Amino acid sequence: MEKKLKIAVQKSGRLNEGSLALLKECSISIDNGKDQLKANARNFPLEVFYLRNSDIPQYVEDGIADIAIIGENLVVEKQKKIEVIQRLGFSKCRLSLAIPKNADYNGPSYFDGKKLATSYPNTLQQFLDKNNLQAEIHEISGSVEIAPNIGLADGICDLVSTGSTLFKNGLKEVETVLKSEACIVQNQNIEPEAKKILDKLLFRVKSVLAAKNNKYVLLNVPDESLDRVIEILPGMKSPTVLPLAQKGWHSVHSVINEHDFWNVIDQLKENGAQGILVVPIEKMVL
Ligand SMILES: Nc1ncnc2c1ncn2[C@@H]1O[C@H](COP(=O)(O)OP(=O)(O)OP(=O)(O)O)[C@@H](O)[C@H]1O
Ligand SMILES: O=P(O)(O)OC[C@H]1O[C@H](OP(=O)(O)OP(=O)(O)O)[C@H](O)[C@@H]1O
Ligand SMILES: [Mg+2]
């Protein structure tokens, strides 16, 4: 029987859509019947298990799944023997401490002797230990932000992204304990055959992520600015330069990284570039 790589993804919740979208962008199509907890990819040696998020680290440690897509926050919290091998750039959030908005905050010592509600007791305990603080941790599995309002705790430690849940519950964020995004984790003793398939998958994932982080640009440049524009636009190897039908002008094609996109565009304009077109890249094979 053909060897398959076993991947665990969240059955439903915040990571489910992004995880399946990533596999699709890697051109992997999965038979995805409703209520089906195990599915095979049609065109790649991959078997997908749909599981409860919080159970996934254990399944990967035990080798039930070779790899999984989970948040880094869960990797830190569960303390299982699993390895983060690729960050994925979605489901970005942070684990933060928050207190009632009118309370005076004077630094981490505020939490000494307080009662804190959280779904992340291990990560919170690490933060308290690092800061030499003693606090009572009350573990709850959800709706953590309600705790101070119902007299359950003095403060909370929970995930924050937009901050709107904190705001709606009259809380303010005062310390960031860790930053997180979705990532691929791997079993530490993955078999060589599964590892070969994983390397193929990672090659595709990296191409998809690189494409997302870069844009293809085309622009017209007067000949006197050409050397300067080529310096600004290094491209993957170097930019493509083609003469225009109109004398004294060239068309330049290149790739710009999302991080300094507007900065580069400003410099191009300052150097006389015109007709700048920006096109998304579907895959970028490095
Ligand atoms: N508000 C948010 N913004 C961005 N990412 C988030 C946010 N909340 C959670 N996440 C990320 O998504 C992951 C899954 O969160 P989700 O709420 O779907 O499941 P859960 O309630 O943590 O777990 P379970 O499925 O075990 O109930 C989290 O571990 C975190 O990495
Ligand atoms: O800063 P925000 O953008 O408001 O997001 C933060 C909220 O999102 C998560 O809860 P979720 O909606 O996943 O609910 P859950 O407790 O059912 O997992 C997290 O536990 C916070 O409550
Ligand atoms: Mg949640």
Q: What is the pLDDT of residues 217-236, one digit of tens each?
A: 999 999 999 999 999 987 77
**209 Cα to the center of ligand 1, angstroms:** 21
Encoded tokens for 150: 């119902």
Are the C-beta atoms of residues 108 and 131 closer than 8 Å to each other? yes
Alpha-carbon gap, residue 45 to 197, rounded angstroms: 7
The CATH architecture annotation of domain 93-180 reads 3-Layer(aba) Sandwich (3.40)
Q: Environment class of residue 245 by beta-carbon count within 10 Å: exposed (0-12), middle (13-18) or buried (19+)?
A: exposed
Percentage of the chain beyond pLDDT 90 is 93
CA angle, 124 then 125 then 130, to 5°: 100
Distances (CA, A) of 152 to 120, 138, 174, 175, 232: 16, 8, 19, 20, 57
Alpha-carbon gap, residue 157 to 140, rounded angstroms: 11
Which ligand is closest in space to the CA of residue 15? 1
Alpha-carbon gap, residue 137 to 162, rounded angstroms: 25
The superfamily CATH assigns to domain 5-91+181-211 is: Periplasmic binding protein-like II (3.40.190.10)
**13 Cα to the center of ligand 1, angstroms:** 7
Whose CA is closest to 253, among 235, 227, 232? Answer: 235
5-91+181-211 and 93-180, same CATH topology: yes
Distances (CA, A) of 44 to 92, 198, 269: 28, 11, 45
Cβ neighbours of 164 (radius 10 Å): 9
Q: Is the CATH number of domain 214-280 3.30.70.120?
A: yes
Q: Where are the beta strands (DSSP E) in the chain?
A: 5-10, 38-40, 46-51, 67-71, 82-87, 93-100, 115-118, 136-139, 155-160, 171-180, 182-187, 214-222, 240-243, 249-257, 274-280
pLDDT band for position 33 (cuts 50, 70, 90): low
For the chain, domain boundaries: 5-91+181-211, 93-180, 214-280
Name every residue whose Cβ is closer than 8 Å to that of residue 129 and which is 6 or more positions away in sequence.
none
Query: Which residue among 17, 19, 53 has the greatest number of ligand 1 atoms within 8 angstroms of its CB, and so is best to mutate?
Result: 53
192-212 vs 16-25: helix axis angle to the nearest 10?
90
pLDDT tens-digit map of 105-161: 999 999 999 999 999 999 999 999 999 999 999 999 999 999 999 999 999 999 999
Q: Environment class of residue 261 by beta-carbon count within 10 Å: exposed (0-12), middle (13-18) or buried (19+)?
A: middle
Q: Is the CB of 74 inside a 6 Å radius of any atom of ligand 1?
A: yes
pLDDT band for position 258 (cuts 50, 70, 90): confident
- Phi/psi region, residue 38 (left: phi>0; alpha: psi -120 to 50; beta: rest), is beta
pLDDT tens-digit map of 63-73: 999 999 999 99
Query: Which residue among 52, 119, 160 has the greatest number of ligand 2 atoms within 8 angstroms of its CB, and so is best to mutate?
Result: 160
Among protein residues, the one with the nearest Cα to ligand 1's atom 19 is 13
pLDDT at 238: 85
3-state secondary structure of 116: strand
pLDDT band for position 47 (cuts 50, 70, 90): very high
- CA atoms lying within 13 Å on the CB side of residue 66: 20
pLDDT at 34: 65
